Structure 1
Amino acid sequence: MSSVHQPVPQLRRRRLGVIHLLFFTVAASAPLTVLGGGVTTTFAVTGNAGVPLSFLVLAVALALFAVGYAAMSRHVANAGAFYSYLAQGLGPRWAVSGSFVALLSYNAIQIGLYGLFGASLAGFLSSTFGITLPWWALAVAALIVVGALGVLRVDLNARVLAVLLILECIIVALYDISAFGHPAGGSVSFAGLTPSNLFTPTVGAVFAFSIAGFIGFESGAIYSEECRNPRVTVARATFAALTFTGLFYALSAWAMTVNVGAENLQAEAGTKQADLVFSVLAQNWGGGISVLGNLLFLTSVFAALLSFHNGVARYLFALGRERVLLAAFSRVGAASGGPLTGSLAQSALAIVVVVAFAIFGADPVLQLFTWFSGTSAVGVVLLMAVTSVAVVGYFRRHRDAASTWQGLVAPVLATIVLFAIVAILVINFDVLMGSSDPGWFERGFFPGLMLVVALLGLGWAAVIKRNKPAVYKRIGQTAMAPEVVEPKIQLNVPTPPRAG
């Protein structure tokens, strides 16, 4: 038997900069999808005119989380992100538990988006070209394209996302200009930014919907091993993504309140949904821009699909590399340097779920997308809350690595705020599922699923500790220290003699 030590599988290094990560994180949040889908739905369900302000409030709350998260990213770089942070701050068993919750959460939002994409594309083809195709066939077609891109170079993925994201942001900006230029009643109203309009009995439901729009801003750490300078890249990208999405969402939601009028929001949003955006574009910029907006709504969903797919594949890679899951998940593509098996596994799971929903005749938006995106919101915010605790634990042992604000005060405040948001999400989960008459299933099944998965993770960690103690000790430790810089290779080439 050979005693040669096998090298640890690695992703291709130094391919991504701050801009690349910014495209991945903001694309996951999908600005046009949030405006045309999330914001209009929130107005329709709650009738709360303070939705724009909710984005600013949540951005401040998430910024508290980002302080500690970014500080820790300067010392730990691992494709497992939350998984490695929990290992370094709380220990291996919490890392495995958190990784199970992360896999469920990111798979849920990624697979749920196939329902939204398939239904939206089917509606667009039917209304524009008179072509009738089943939503699931279109979802599977998108799945194949996403799967193909997922096994290619990660910087190529970033370029695809860059083009789609820039175009959709231009469309949203055109909408904002039109909305503010044509205010209801002839003057710009500040009702959307008034605290008394937000803090009504429906504020919990508003926060439950609005927090889903931020999911993805935290995903920069997943690509930390592939960054050119992970010590600063992840932190800068995280803060940039949070600042951009918070302000952009607030501005665009406010534009909608100005254009429609606070008193008309619920009725108009309930009737028109995404067309509340596209009809304004058509009136002010022409039918061609409206059609382009519809197309970019689809590419917005597609961009989010690709971004979350890449995230799940890297989580599976990290867990396979440390033998928490099958070692096969650590396989990377010879040419792309990306997580090959993880990408294929995510695609396989997605197609099984999409086909199952199609067979049982489930609604792709009201059930597949709404149920799964709500589940993801609960899981990701829960992970943020527990990771904030891990940040405190890590910097207690490395006191000189961060300031008191970064390593203690901000993470403690973030923990309190984020657990409060988790409680709001669970209490209002029936609203996320679109139920007007909630039963035990609507209120408890999917949030309870997160608890079950977390407990399964703790159990699996106990099994690993008992049967593979060496593996257990390495959990979350296979990380590239961001401060370590690969040495430059210098060639000693003799200097040619001077002429003369």
Structure 2
Amino acid sequence: MTELTGALSNTEPPTSVALRGNLGIFQITLLVIAAAAPLGAVVSAAPIGFMVGNGPGLAGAFLVAGLMMLCFSVGYGELIRAIPGAGAFYKYLSVVFGARVGAGAAWVALASYLAIAISLATVTGYFTDLTLQSLGINWGWKTWTVLVIALTAYLGRANIDFAAKVLVPLVLAEFFMLFVLGLSIVMDKGNAALPLQAISVSAITAPGMGVGLMIALAAFLGVESAALYAMEARRPEKSIPGATRLAVALVAATYFVVIWLVVGDIGVDTIKEEAATAQGELVINLFSRHLGGTVATIVSIMLCTSNFACLLSLHNAATRYVHVLARDKHLPSVLANTHLQKKSPANASLFVTVLVSICIAVPASLGYDPFVFLFPVTLALGTIGLIGLQAFVSLAVIAHFKKVSDRRYFRILISPLFALGGLSVAVYLICANYGLLTASESVWVNGTPILLLVLFFYGLIKGHSKPV
């Protein structure tokens, strides 16, 4: 840690220069969508939902999750508009419930983003190695993980406008490939491509509904991160709420329609068994059958870039939490310093990179396979942390606007109330199925959510009483 502090202070001289960027609604929307990783969610997460969740009812589960997140984004957008400034969960919960509660939430958010960044760095290196082995390139997952972390570190220290230029084409390419797959299924199946049975109440509430809804909501992680770019956006009072709602709408529509089409293509009665057989190859096989083996190979490679885009987006989110926490004296002030030329939170980015690297290097050096040992635990921990905070913020929307006697009932009461109820149920379901997410029977592993409670109460006790 001494070496890290020295590197930070020597590389970046102390400065109070503000973060700067020129992000508009379009760029912020795609930064947020990158965190949701649409291609990764459809190719990697959906087969698990089909297999151990509610089968064909997964399409309906994504519809419910999408509506829930749209309601969350409506209330969240109004809170963003009413409480200007950077900090996202930290900022809003501090203003509504007090600085100490906000500090506790900030620690939970930072831990959650770091956990997911660790899981994504691991899975990106792992699957990049598996994908390129088929092309005769066998460098090993450790090499690819190091390269992925190094590239993330470089882009994370750059001005956010530059990072956006890298992420935008990657995200657009993901949407394009999913659109092409969906179009090919419709052209092949016609009306049968969208079976009404898949979105019926009986299909949605079939055994495994809890798992299906849990996986659907987990696919939306990171959609709240637009507010973290407030200091780097043009007209943040308009671009941040607009980008949040647009990102959620695009992602929700894409997930729902594509997964519904996958069910229609494979068959309502056979999707569960087919997913159990093909597992991670389920959607890749559809690309191969409809568009050819070459396209399927391209999609496999794009899955790696999708994971990387998601990693970079969440790295940026964690970086900005570190920056804001350091600025408000919850972390060493050196982490709040900004790069004089790039106007980026370079010190905070380096700190996040070092933490992620250590958390992967330690189990690797002890002989553990981080993909098996680390990936499921960190992903599960980050999922429960962020969904729990989304529910907390929905409560904050209701509480804040009740104080100011606002009468826009749909935006500031009905929508956040629906989101609060649904997300609270999701937190319960995740806790009840936590062992499924971690793929472990260890009491220690499945007790990791206690860490989030410890961090929250640490922030509650140690948090500054000054307003944010």
After TM superposition, is the score higher than 0.5? yes
Larger radius of gyration: 1
Counterpart CA distance in 1 for 2:420 and 2:273 is 37
More moved, 184-193 vs 26-35: 184-193
- Of 453, 459, 462 in structure 2, the residue corresponding to residue 460 of structure 1 is 462
Give the unaligned 5+ runs of structure 2.
Answer: 1-13
Instruction: Give the corresponding residue for 1:75.
Output: 82
- Of 221, 231, 235 in structure 2, the residue corresponding to residue 215 of structure 1 is 221
State the 1:188 CA deviation: 5.1
The amino acid that maps onto 2:412 is: G
Counterpart CA distance in 2 for 1:332 and 1:382 is 31
Q: 1:394 to 1:185 in 2, by over 3 A?
A: closer
Instruction: Give the corresponding residue for 2:242.
Output: 236
| TM-score scaled by length of structure 2 | 0.92
* CA offsets 1:320-353 (integer angstroms, 9 cap, x no match): 1111211111111111111011100010011101
After superposing on structure 2, the runs of 4+ consecutive aligned residues of structure 1 that deviate more than 6 Å are: 184-187
State the 1:64 CA deviation: 2.3
Counterpart CA distance in 1 for 2:191 and 2:352 is 50
1:440 aligns with 2:443: yes
1:65 aligns with 2:72: yes
The amino acid that maps onto 2:45 is: G
State the 1:46 CA deviation: 2.6
Instruction: Give the corresponding residue for 2:344.
Output: 338
More moved, 356-365 vs 380-389: 356-365
Instruction: Give the SS at the match of 2:395.
Output: helix
The amino acid that maps onto 2:423 is: L
Check conservation: 2:60, 2:203, Cα contact below 8 A: no
Instruction: Give the SS at the match of 1:334.
Output: coil
State the 1:150 CA deviation: 0.6
Q: 1:240 to 1:34 in 2, by over 3 A?
A: same
State the 1:117 CA deviation: 0.7
- Of 100, 103, 110 in structure 1, the residue corresponding to residue 117 of structure 2 is 110
Q: 1:330 to 1:187 in 2, by over 3 A?
A: closer
Check conservation: 2:193, 2:261, Cα contact below 8 A: no
1:292 aligns with 2:292: no
State the 1:185 CA deviation: 12
State the 1:281 CA deviation: 2.0
State the 1:454 CA deviation: 1.2
The amino acid that maps onto 2:121 is: Y
- Of 13, 27, 37 in structure 2, the residue corresponding to residue 20 of structure 1 is 27
Counterpart CA distance in 2 for 1:371 and 1:251 is 30
Counterpart CA distance in 2 for 1:53 and 1:188 is 12
The structure with the largest helix share of the pair is 2
Instruction: Give the SS at the match of 2:448.
Output: helix
1:180 aligns with 2:186: yes
> Where do residues 317-466 of structure 1 align in structure 2 (5 Å cutoff)?
317-399=323-405, 403-435=408-440, 438=441, 440-441=443-444, 444-461=446-463, 464=464
- Of 27, 37, 51 in structure 2, the residue corresponding to residue 30 of structure 1 is 37
State the 1:100 CA deviation: 0.5
More moved, 25-34 vs 135-144: 135-144
* CA offsets 1:335-386 (integer angstroms, 9 cap, x no match): 1111011100010011101112322344444442222122111111111111
Q: 1:459 to 1:171 in 2, by over 3 A?
A: same
State the 1:170 CA deviation: 1.1
Counterpart CA distance in 2 for 1:428 and 1:253 is 23
More moved, 298-307 vs 444-453: 444-453
Instruction: Give the corresponding residue for 1:156.
Output: 162
Counterpart CA distance in 2 for 1:206 and 1:58 is 10
Check conservation: 2:83, 2:92, Cα contact below 8 A: yes
Instruction: Give the corresponding residue for 2:18.
Output: 10
Instruction: Give the SS at the match of 1:342.
Output: helix
